[in-house]
Amino acid sequence: MTAAEEALTLLRQPDRYPRSAAYDPEWLLSLDMGPNPLWLLEDLCRDLDLRPGMRILDLGSGMGATSVFLAREFGAEVVAADLWVAPETAARVFAEAGVADRVRAVRAEAHTLPFDAESFDAIVCIDAFEYFGTADNYLPYLVGFLRPGGRLGVATPAMRREVRDLGAVPPHIKACVGWEAIAWHTAEWWRFQWEITELVTVTAARLQEHGCDDWLRWARAGLARTGSTTNESVVAMLAADRGELLTFALLAAVKAGPR
Ligand SMILES: C[S@@+](CC[C@H](N)C(=O)[O-])C[C@H]1O[C@@H](n2cnc3c(N)ncnc32)[C@H](O)[C@@H]1O
């Protein structure tokens, strides 16, 4: 087995992520914009109660693997909104995956979303909220697009302690992402940040126990596939961390009001 083939086998974890295991790892890596999006989404969905026919906003959908998953696994009608990826590019992914009738790609900036108020049953955001969602006024803005009783689910890189409490970004993390890690908050930070608004009830705010291991599997597979220095530096960061600080936060909330 070549190193690349071996790395791909790391991307199948049927016991932990049975639904994601049905997706071709090569296909997933070809859409790579960030770590293991389907594993994050599958785990997050355990807290979201998604139902067939729901209208879901996939915010920061990137190349769209998560939107395909939402359409196929939950029979959802999905709006895939992203800033960096052209809608035509994402639309090709949706057509090839056979979900073009249920997923619409839209170019959107997270602070000026082109949607009607209360027009979604759920909003999910996988590995993108850290780019735009940490400001005090962002949750209040975003939940305006959810119907009362609608669900919000976020999966985002996290640390087990706040950088503020550590006093600095730890060197092995700084070497890879620099100041960006100040947005990698603990689950409790997010819980407070959301609950204090009284606009949502937080139904789950947890750190993935095995998040660092999952992330390392993904980064190693990406490195074997591309040989890129970016992947190399992510692998070095995660291998040095060994899960002491780095993982993902999975956050779920329900918008206040009648369901
Ligand atoms: C790390 S990628 C993750 C993409 C995808 N969710 C995934 O997991 O593969 C982060 C995504 O966030 C999107 N993004 C970053 N800033 C944004 C903003 N201000 N408004 C909308 N999308 C944004 C980018 O376009 C990018 O696709």
Per-residue pLDDT reduced to its tens digit, 51-105: 999 999 999 999 999 999 999 999 999 999 999 999 999 999 999 999 999 999 9
How many Å is the Cα radius of gyration of the chain? 18
Residue scoring higher pLDDT (52 or 230): 52
Ligand 1 pocket test: pick from 132, 141, 154, 184 the residue with the most ligand atoms within 8 Å of its Cβ: 132
Per-residue pLDDT reduced to its tens digit, 106-119: 999 999 999 999 99
Q: For residue 84, give the DSSP letter.
A: S
Write out the two tokens for 31: 């859409």
Instruction: Say whether pLDDT at 50 is over 80.
Output: yes
Which atom number of ligand 1 is nearest to the Cα of residue 109? 20
Which atom number of ligand 1 is nearest to the Cα of residue 126? 6
Percent pLDDT > 70 in the chain is 99
Residue 2 has, within 13 A of its CA and on its CB side, a CA count of 6
Cα three-residue angle 258-81-59, rounded to 5 degrees: 55
Q: How much is the pTM?
A: 0.97
Write out the two tokens for 90: 């994402």
Q: Class for domain 14-158+181-208+246-255, per CATH? A: alpha beta
> Quick one: which H or E segment has residue 109?
none
Q: Is 192 close to ligand 1, i.e. is its CB under 6 Å away?
A: no
Instruction: Say whether pLDDT at 44 is over 70.
Output: yes
CA of 71 to the centre of ligand 1 (A): 19
Q: How far apart are CA 167 and CA 126, in angstroms?
A: 28
- Amino acid found at 126: I
Q: Is 87 close to ligand 1, i.e. is its CB under 6 Å away?
A: no
Mean pLDDT computed over 203-225: 95
Q: How far apart are CA 202 and CA 186, in angstroms?
A: 14
Domain ranges across the chain? 14-158+181-208+246-255
- Contact in structure between 11 and 221 (CB atoms under 8 Å): yes
Q: Is 126 close to ligand 1, i.e. is its CB under 6 Å away?
A: yes
Per-residue pLDDT reduced to its tens digit, 27-41: 999 999 999 999 999
**Residue 41 — φ and ψ, nearest 5°?**
-65, -45
In three-state secondary structure terms, 62 is coil
